[in-house]
Structure 1
């Protein structure tokens, strides 16, 4: 936004924005006030579209100016614009590089509320001072292009223009994120199902510009102090206050806050890679940017007495994860960016987002350098990406004050976490917020808190949320107890036949410090009952589910298991996992008693201590037997081990959404590292073996902008001591038709056993980089995925079954042929190619096993696997 217009005007206009409006009108209404237009007297709304006169295609980012003034805006992704004008005779000019400008004069008499004016621009070559800018029909070149020469100057000087070039800086930051239900229609308001909620429509807000209606539904405010030191480089943000609307215990309000912060991250236009909407965009000032962006000089302007050039930038391929917009670059030898307005093409391969607009300004502080002074990010969401459909409009507004630069900061300021929240942040009263806000809330914004609180008290809403959570998360609340998960009530497998299960857990209304969970199950073929019971005691002042967790859990379980399979987010008896390929009848009955201690910290470091006694008894077609010294085979009734485990997990800056019985991680660029040591103690609680096991795990996402990102997982382990195969590492196989990222999708259950191993998993997501360049296919918004998995390992001589080792035989089939093997000199390998984003949620992989095809029942050919995943 322009410095010439006060922030209060901008925010006042934002409050009148209609989230019900078509994305088109919303976006330039934001841009209109990003230019800082102030209104005086009776106003008339001028709106319309800018199109190519030859093709009728919309012209995005066209300049629409009131001649003789600084008032103006830019067309959005749909070519639409809107201006608010005072009475009088005015001349409006529309222009864009590569087109002949068009001017229109009209009389604004003050009686018309809305005037529609469309512009049809003729494509042509255009000379701008000494710069020749080629039209759209001619081939764009970097060579001898003054616009490219200018951006290269910006790139060359950006390190000195970044705020990180200061030795020290500090400031006070006030952030506000608001979501509105947009494009509320009369038909929607009159639905019978909403009669109980008709009071919420008292909070509707109609945009004076678009005439559309919006309903505010969410507001989050935070105020913090930010400190930075260049040498050594350290940054600390201390959040003094947070306030947000919420839905009580129905959802993880902190998780929603974290997820929104991920979507609406701080944007630094000088960054090479810019994170937004859980994606990474190649920034327009990255060293590689001239290879992927087109740049054009539009015109010149003056900002705060500094002569600037308006530089336009757009993707060479509109489907790539790149931005388009304009930036004002100072011509004072600093080549600093003073103002930027940017969004992305409507053809971009991003789901559910119909438009995005970022507006930022940089001004001098304390006459020492440039700092960000205006920061507005608006995003329009629509499930089907319909231009006029009902959706969500979200805007993040950040203001900064009390800048202090190049003044030493006490090193104690940087102690603790890089992002620390005051213990009292969520408990401040209205007097704190009246002083802490940089500007008072509007009456509409104030009403959001009252409205959401009223909605939560409506019995129909409570019934709806309980039903929705039952369907989505699988739990149904009955007082202080919730029954579920529903997906496990019925399943089937070859050993149990039909399996029925019923269970549940206590809620926080039962106790904040204690939680109990239980279930009972019965198999109609094996005619055996299974059960589980656990008691969890929180060692903190919050409940057992709230991060960071510090608790002790005691549990007992009698259950049927597939050896080597430990699923993360779902239960093995989930109904959908009942469908499997190949034989699936080798299992064990496990009787487990354990005590588990977990201590998480906000730094990302977690300590886990565990004592477990496990008795494994063969089930189905699986048998436990061993060789005698004479070479005969004798059965073994069970394997009993007592294990002491210590684990460390380090996940810096980890964020997630906390569900009823799971966490959904919000992946970032930081690694996750785990170390685990297990000791088996013979004769302790009946343990039969002495052994040690060491495991290490590391996972990291690498962004390779603009061609996607790569997830890499490394894993390795070793077992010390002589033990039977149930206590060795049985590698994670997958015989379901669901694609599992860190399992071997073409490996059979129990197929490979190791006492030492190393593994690598590589998944690269192109995010449509290839498909986006193929005609017709690019309209489907599909995304390409390739994966590779490799496993090395084996068994040392002392753990290879035989008469000389007196060890348990590896599993065999009914005729005595082995079905489990040790890895040899070559690794197990499989690879896949996949198509993701089918119907926006489905991924389909074609998987090929590359080695050990000679093993019995090894899948030959290709396998098809499916995965459901919500993604932007």
Structure 2
């Protein structure tokens, strides 16, 4: 039954309906549009083609190739914006209607646990087919195959403190002076706030050739805070830390990582084809990859592949969860390439982001971000060859004298990309923090603890761990060092120490002078005077644990008496080093020696009745060639970072009877060649070959011959024979070899429960052949008495074989060492037990190795 409306109500309902329609139409026309960008929380890189949709409303879009998107607001009063992308945890963003026409949202996505396998449904493995095509076309698409190329390189490095909060600063009394820094915290991510603390930028001209391999980086502009050392600046340029994904493997932090597009990548990775997208009018395949086996140094990530020439447009790499790198929670690498007009691919941008956590997971950590971008690329230009011809070594970094003198308006126009808000804050913040008294005090305290020295303006004291020590001769030994700093002079360093033994009641000391000629001419003058015990030093003493330190007596092997030489020595040397790392050092040394029990008394080592002292004067020349080596220069000492090329050292010297009081005449020659390099998929190998000979017609005391380096403590020494006593074997002609092969986890990964372990395995082998003239054996009582236990190898070979594990708790190393010594030829009718060595044929040694 129908009920007609009253006549007066009909116009009212029509008006209400009319205004309702008008209102809805107006609302639809002014509906809010949401703009934004999707990016990776860790790398800050945009995420292309992420899926963005309303959970309740049900409609959505994809982000574009740069991560940007625009979507209409949900018509519902309450809804959630959902963002999803393979390899990332889904993001849910609650949203309520806004009165504004436009809203901007930054959507930050967190990667899934590194190493987790991403499942993509497919009837067949199209990802494996794509991978095979990429490998088949590597030779064409690899930018490193160009004969020569050059470009403008912009490099930027940023360091942030991660996992911090106001509560953390408030709870830590030592950090309260820095509470103001929290105003600069990046609040972009509520889950992982970080505080930018340091940044540097460089602008360079970069040149490279593939055959022969050469690179040259000329840093013409640099902007940094607190870094004044040019040698450090070289390592902040763009040339270092560069990897090539087209190589079968790359080295990161000294570890070999297998590339997902290596020739044997299918043995290490699972591949999945995700989808196909059109970018800039070109179709690209989206390939996902994840580690096939835990415990191997591999990556997880994805890449975009050109559908026609199979080149890589962009690749994202994250280290797998079980990759064996110490203190690194996360490491992500991004590489982008651009197709040139000749249809060949070239570098466009690299980015590396590392989360370094020395205190452990979820503790205060540091995030380092390094970005390289490339412009003005030239390929096979004749000018490139001319530039590379200026190189003195294979890889060279040149820092312009005016690199830091650019005006403030230089950088905005020269940067390849504008600084973010956080990056702009860093330069202002560092100027402030350096004026805070607490920061100055903490910096000095930490430097004193770890470096051992304390600066007091133009002078410094230390190292503190040598202030007090002990040994069998001196009982308690006190020592105090004093040296100048770069505030005194950048080129001249004075250093000396005074020591006193409370048992022998004798003062000892040393004074040395080092002067580097200004102007980077590579010329250094050195002179020293020493009157002290030798304190356990041997020929290769860079790693020696000498006896004059606080800890040495705690780790001595029992039953082995300490042996000392007293040395009064004057030395002069001049070193000239060329840019190609060839150096020449003529030197002069005059020494007087004293012996102490249980070594033979000095009087028994004199050749003539009128002789009273063991005095020797020697003039020599040392030549060293270390191609590719880089030098980290500090005022106190230069640190050398070797390349994978061999290092050669040659030494020659002579002494003449009567030369400045010398009692001996001889000529000596020696050489050694050493190298550190990686064996693909089989770890790292170090070796050293060495040998020498002394030419003389008379017997020489043992301290003038080759004393094969022994070790009498439980701390392992790579350069010594660890089961050989000091002064046990002596030679005047010798040849030897040291080999150590770190196979990392190659065999440990075969044991299932060891795959997640951080331990690494190694083996080593050391051997030396030696002999001694009859005259020298008689003079030194070699093998004619059991009292002093000095020996000659007599043409035999001494061998030590070892294996062990390192990276135990990320710091400790344990060596298991076996020795084989040649049989001795004893005098007739003697008791062999009297000549037995007091060392064992097997030993266990420990050491601390800080490494990534």
Q: Which TM-score tier does this pair reach, normalised by the shorter chain?
A: 0.7 to 0.9
Match of 2:41 in 1: 26
Match of 1:203 in 2: 184
Match of 2:23 in 1: none
d(CA) in 2 for partners of 1:236 and 1:299? 40
Give the conservation status (yes or no) of the 8 Å contact 1:763–1:786.
Answer: yes
d(CA) in 2 for partners of 1:230 and 1:158? 15
Q: Are 1:809 and 2:781 counterparts? A: yes
Distance verdict in 2 for CA 1:561–1:407, change over 3 Å = closer
Match of 1:576 in 2: 551
Deviates more, 1:778-787 or 1:738-747: 778-787
Match of 2:312 in 1: 337
Match of 1:69 in 2: 62
Match of 2:480 in 1: 502
Match of 2:31 in 1: none
* Secondary structure of 1:738's aligned partner: coil
Give the conservation status (yes or no) of the 8 Å contact 1:319–1:349.
Answer: yes
Q: How does 1:442-453 map to 2 (within 5 A)?
A: 442-453=420-431
Match of 2:759 in 1: 782
Q: TM-score, normalised by structure 1?
A: 0.81
Match of 1:312 in 2: 288
1:681 CA displacement: 3.1
Give the conservation status (yes or no) of the 8 Å contact 2:184–2:195.
Answer: yes
d(CA) in 1 for partners of 2:495 and 2:236? 31
Residues 440-467 of structure 1: CA deviation (Å, up to 9, x unaligned): 4344323322322332232322222222
Give the conservation status (yes or no) of the 8 Å contact 1:627–1:634.
Answer: no
1:307 CA displacement: 3.0
Q: Are 1:454 and 2:454 counterparts? A: no
Distance verdict in 2 for CA 1:44–1:234, change over 3 Å = same
2:526 aligned to which of 553, 570, 579: 553
Distance verdict in 2 for CA 1:518–1:422, change over 3 Å = same
Match of 1:360 in 2: 335
Give the conservation status (yes or no) of the 8 Å contact 1:247–1:456.
Answer: no
Q: Are 1:645 and 2:617 counterparts? A: no
1:620 aligned to which of 574, 597, 601: 597
Distance verdict in 2 for CA 1:94–1:218, change over 3 Å = closer
d(CA) in 2 for partners of 1:240 and 1:842? 43
d(CA) in 2 for partners of 1:114 and 1:236? 40
Distance verdict in 2 for CA 1:660–1:172, change over 3 Å = closer
d(CA) in 2 for partners of 1:628 and 1:421? 55
Q: How does 1:28-177 map to 2 (within 5 A)?
A: 30-31=44-45, 33-35=46-48, 68-70=61-63, 87-88=73-74, 109=96, 128=122, 132-133=124-125, 147-177=127-157
2:270 aligned to which of 294, 297, 304: 294
1:189 CA displacement: 2.8
d(CA) in 1 for partners of 2:160 and 2:93? 35
Distance verdict in 2 for CA 1:96–1:183, change over 3 Å = closer
Q: How does 1:508-657 map to 2 (within 5 A)?
A: 508-541=486-519, 550-561=523-534, 565-566=538-539, 567-569=541-543, 571-578=546-553, 579-581=555-557, 582-624=559-601, 637-655=612-630, 657=632
Residues 479-524 of structure 1: CA deviation (Å, up to 9, x unaligned): 3221111111111122222211112201111222322111111112
Distance verdict in 2 for CA 1:712–1:778, change over 3 Å = same
d(CA) in 2 for partners of 1:773 and 1:829? 30
Deviates more, 1:716-725 or 1:515-524: 716-725
d(CA) in 2 for partners of 1:620 and 1:676? 31
Q: How does 1:90-489 map to 2 (within 5 A)?
A: 109=96, 128=122, 132-133=124-125, 147-190=127-170, 191-207=172-188, 209-210=189-190, 212-230=192-210, 233-246=213-226, 265-332=241-308, 334-386=309-361, 388-409=362-383, 411-414=385-388, 415-417=390-392, 418-489=396-467
d(CA) in 2 for partners of 1:394 and 1:518? 39
Query: Greater relative contact order: 1 or 2 (C-alpha under 8 angstroms, separation 6 or more)?
Result: 1
Residues 643-687 of structure 1: CA deviation (Å, up to 9, x unaligned): 112112222332355567445544542332222222223322111
Distance verdict in 2 for CA 1:123–1:468, change over 3 Å = closer
Distance verdict in 2 for CA 1:870–1:600, change over 3 Å = same
CA RMSD in angstroms, aligned pairs only:
3.9
1:306 CA displacement: 3.5
d(CA) in 2 for partners of 1:269 and 1:793? 48
d(CA) in 2 for partners of 1:257 and 1:179? 15
Give the conservation status (yes or no) of the 8 Å contact 1:628–1:634.
Answer: no
Residues 143-162 of structure 1: CA deviation (Å, up to 9, x unaligned): xxx64454344333322212
d(CA) in 1 for partners of 2:37 and 2:234? 27
d(CA) in 2 for partners of 1:638 and 1:201? 69
Distance verdict in 2 for CA 1:689–1:444, change over 3 Å = same
d(CA) in 2 for partners of 1:148 and 1:681? 74
Deviates more, 1:344-353 or 1:293-302: 293-302
1:738 CA displacement: 1.0
Give the conservation status (yes or no) of the 8 Å contact 1:308–1:328.
Answer: yes
* Secondary structure of 1:290's aligned partner: helix
d(CA) in 1 for partners of 2:754 and 2:288? 29
Residues 751-804 of structure 1: CA deviation (Å, up to 9, x unaligned): 11112222211112232333345344444411112211111222245x5423xx
d(CA) in 2 for partners of 1:851 and 1:94? 67
d(CA) in 1 for partners of 2:823 and 2:637? 36
Distance verdict in 2 for CA 1:679–1:26, change over 3 Å = farther
Residues 68-96 of structure 1: CA deviation (Å, up to 9, x unaligned): 4245999xxxxxxx999773489968676
Q: Are 1:718 and 2:689 counterparts? A: no
d(CA) in 2 for partners of 1:443 and 1:520? 54
Match of 2:711 in 1: 734
The runs of 5 or more residues in structure 2 that have no matched partner are 1-35, 825-834
Residues 797-832 of structure 1: CA deviation (Å, up to 9, x unaligned): 5x5423xxxx343498xx744512221444211122
Distance verdict in 2 for CA 1:496–1:228, change over 3 Å = same
* Secondary structure of 2:694's aligned partner: strand
1:339 CA displacement: 1.9
Give the conservation status (yes or no) of the 8 Å contact 2:161–2:364.
Answer: yes
d(CA) in 2 for partners of 1:120 and 1:152? 26
Q: TM-score, normalised by structure 2?
A: 0.83
* Secondary structure of 1:200's aligned partner: helix
1:589 CA displacement: 0.8
Residues 51-83 of structure 1: CA deviation (Å, up to 9, x unaligned): xxxxxxxxxxxxxx9964245999xxxxxxx99
Give the conservation status (yes or no) of the 8 Å contact 1:44–1:86.
Answer: no
d(CA) in 1 for partners of 2:681 and 2:204? 33
The runs of 5 or more residues in structure 1 that have no matched partner are 1-11, 18-24, 47-64, 75-81, 134-145, 543-547
Distance verdict in 2 for CA 1:348–1:120, change over 3 Å = closer
Distance verdict in 2 for CA 1:851–1:147, change over 3 Å = farther
d(CA) in 2 for partners of 1:368 and 1:442? 33
